[in-house]
Chains A and B, each alone.
Chain A
Amino acid sequence: DVKVTQSSRYLVKRTGEKVFLECVQDMDHENMFWYRQDPGLGLRLIYFSYDVKMKEKGDIPEGYSVSREKKERFSLILESASTNQTSMYLCASSLTPHGRYTFGSGTRLTVV
């Protein structure tokens, strides 16, 4: 089975800190995605990548950036964390643009 691993389950950071969320998949998937999930809003797409060094903005990219230097790793960066970025962050990958998704177990980030 494809595995998508997110480096932390829980994270507490201070306002203004630079935060890195790491995601690694082990099955050579081309496409990787970062979502955030908030109560009442569902999952919203932050950024996605369909190839190494390629990145595309999703619906809510403001305050975030991403890095994909290797195919298996897709990092989400909060340049200067703010309290409104407190959320559950989910990484996902898929082999093809229209294929089945595999999700990581999520990182619950709290910014204080």
Chain B
Amino acid sequence: KNEVEQSPQNLTAQEGEFITINCSYSVGISALHWLQQHPGGGIVSLFMLSSGKKKHGRLIATINIQEKHSSLHITASHPRDSAVYICAAQSGGGADGLTFGKGTHLIIQP
């Protein structure tokens, strides 16, 4: 079973700072998901990637398959980016769901 580790667990930064959240996994995967969860519980899918890099607005996700590592970057961070960011590994087998990291609690202070 895949082990998914995220770092840091908690991160507090000032508005405008460049943010990096890291995710590593132990077993080869078919895809890596980055999710965002705001207070109240709802989860939004930010990225699904299996190689290289994806960008959406101020968010960038990268993955290094050989090193079994992915990063989520936020440029020009804003207080509305405050949320829990979760990475999740999708194994190459059947439809048995994702293995989740424990999440990174990000707070952006004005």
**Which A residues contact B (CB, under 8 angstroms)?**
9, 30-31, 33, 35, 37, 40-45, 48, 50, 56, 58, 88, 90, 92, 94, 97-106, 108
Contacts and interface: CB of A to CB of B under 8 A. Distances in A.
Contact of B98 (A50, A88, A101, A108): A101
Contacts of A103: 35, 42-45
Contacts of A31: 95
Contacts of B90: 98
Query: Closest 6 interchain pairs by CB?
Result: A106-B41, A97-B95, A103-B43, A105-B42, A42-B102, A50-B95
B102 A41 contact: yes
B94 A42 contact: no
B67 interface: no
Contacts, number: 64
Given A45-B96, A45-B97, A48-B96, A101 B45 contact: yes
Contacts of A48: 95-97
From B30, B33, B43, B100, name the one whose CB has the most chain A CB atoms within 10 angstroms: B43
Interface in B29-86: 30-31, 33, 35, 40-45, 48, 86
Interface of B: 30-31, 33, 35, 40-45, 48, 86, 88, 90, 92, 94-98, 100-103
Contact of A43 (B48, B92, B100): B100
29 contacts: A9-B41, A31-B95, A35-B97, A37-B41, A40-B102, A42-B86, A42-B102, A42-B103, A43-B86, A43-B100, A44-B100, A45-B96, A45-B98, A48-B96, A50-B95, A56-B96, A58-B96, A90-B41, A94-B95, A97-B94, A97-B95, A98-B92, A99-B48, A101-B35, A103-B35, A103-B43, A105-B40, A105-B41, A106-B43
A88 B97 contact: no
B41 A88 contact: yes
B31 A98 contact: yes
